[in-house]
Each structure stands twice: as C-alpha cells, then as structure tokens.
Chain A
Amino acid sequence: DGGITQSPKYLFRKEGQNVTLSCEQNLNHDAMYWYRQDPGQGLRLIYYSQIVNDFQKGDIAEGYSVSREKKESFPLTVTSAQKNPTAFYLCASSTTGGHQPQHFGDGTRLSIL
C-alpha cells in the first residue's frame, strides 16, 4: 500500500542537541511538506519542497533545516537553535498538478528532556 511513513513516533531531545525526523513516501509525489502542530492549534508550515534538490522556507523555518536528495525522502532536522521544539510534527506529500489534497503521515511527537 502506498503511503507516508514518519519515524520515530516519539522523540526526546536534550538541550543543545540536534535531532532528525524521518519522512518517506512511496506515492511518487513530487511535493513534500513539514508542518508543526502545537496543542489545540492548527498546522504551521515549516518547509516545503516541490522537486528533488529544491526546497523553500515556510512560515516558521527558523531553527529547522531540511534536505531533499531523493524524491521519496524529506528529513527534517530540529536544531539546537529551535528553543521551543516540543510539538507534533506532521509530514505530507502531494502531486504538483491537478490540485489534489495532501497525504499525511502519522506524525512524530517531539519533547524536550
């Protein structure tokens, strides 16, 4: 079955540590996205990528970094510069034409130790 796989499901970060969240899709989608969701809040866009080796900052990119070396993969690194990283992180993908909805992974819940 095609879908998006995020790992790990839960992640804990120590002070000063960088952590990387994995996102893999086998839907053959060109576009991929990372969102942050805080409790009781909507989704805020961190980064998005329309094509391999290219990505753009979203609304809250500070303290985060991404790469897009393969079509299937769009990992997100939460750096030590992100002072309030505790949140639910959602990865999504979509086609780039035809105005289709985004498909979401199951999310990674990140907490500070």
Chain B
Amino acid sequence: ELKVEQNPLFLSMQEGKNYTIYCNYSTTSDRLYWYRQDPGKSLESLFVLLSNGAVKQEGRLMASLDTKARLSTLHITAAVHDLSATYFCAVEGTRGFKTIFGAGTRLFVKA
C-alpha cells in the first residue's frame, strides 16, 4: 500500500532564510506532484516531477525527485512572507489515477 510522509508538518521560518521540506513514499512511483494551499482555499499545482533526477524551479521554490530513494524535496530559498501556505506532495500509484497525498507542511514565514 502506498504511503506518503512529509516532514516537517509545521515550519516557522524567518524571511530570507532557506529550508527544505521532505516527502518520502513507500512504493515504486515516478510521478510526484507538489501543490500549494492557502488557508480556506483550494489546491494549486506547483510542480510535476515525472522521472528520476527531475528538478523543477519556480521563483524561490525548487523541487527534485529521487525515485531510487523514494524521496522528493521542496527547497525554499530566501523565504518571503508570501510563501506562507500549506504545501502538499502527492504520489501517483503505479496503476495510475489513485493519488495519495501527504499530510502537508504548514509553512509560516515571519517578516
């Protein structure tokens, strides 16, 4: 059974600092997604990672995928307050369609 674990679950950081969120999953998959959710809102797609070694960057966020280690990271560079949100990783099972979400990392960036 596919399980997805994120850590940390809560992260409070100062503006300008760097940090990494980790996403581990339990079974083989080469399809991993990162989403952002603002409080009370829906989810917005950030990154799609489809192969081992994939790296995607958008602004201050960079995501990577290591399928051998079953690990994805979301790295935050020089955080700003606008990045405060909950970030979810989601892994698609090998049979497709059924996607399992991590519990989410609630990020708070202090000015």
Which secondary structure dominates where chain B touches chain A? strand
Chain A's closest residue to B88 (CB) is: A42
Q: Which of A25-53 contact B (CB under 8 A)?
A: 31, 33, 35, 40-45, 48, 50
Partner of A99, one of B41, B50, B104: B50
Distance in angstroms between the alpha carbons of A102 and B98 in the assembled complex: 11
Q: Tell yes or no: B22 within 8 A of A by CB.
A: no
* B48 adjacent to A99 (CB under 8 Å): yes
Between A and B, how many residue pairs show CB distances below 8 Å?
Answer: 52
* A101 adjacent to B35 (CB under 8 Å): yes
* A102 adjacent to B97 (CB under 8 Å): no
Chain A's closest residue to B45 (CB) is: A101
Q: Note all chain B residues with C-beta closer than 8 A to A33.
A: 99
Partner of B97, one of A44, A48, A107: A48
> What interface size band does chain B fall in?
20 to 34
Q: Tell yes or no: A58 within 8 A of B by CB.
A: yes
Q: Tell yes or no: B103 within 8 A of A by CB.
A: yes
- Interface flags for B70-106 (1: CB within 8 Å of A; 0: not) read 0000000000000000001010100011111111101
Chain B's closest residue to A105 (CB) is: B42
Distance in angstroms between the alpha carbons of A96 and B33 in the assembled complex: 15
Chain A's closest residue to B46 (CB) is: A101
Residues of A within 8 A of B (CB): 31, 33, 35, 40-45, 48, 50, 56, 58, 90, 92, 96, 99-107
In the A-B complex, the 5 residue pairs with the smallest Cβ-Cβ separation, listed nearest first, are: A101-B45, A42-B103, A43-B101, A104-B42, A104-B43
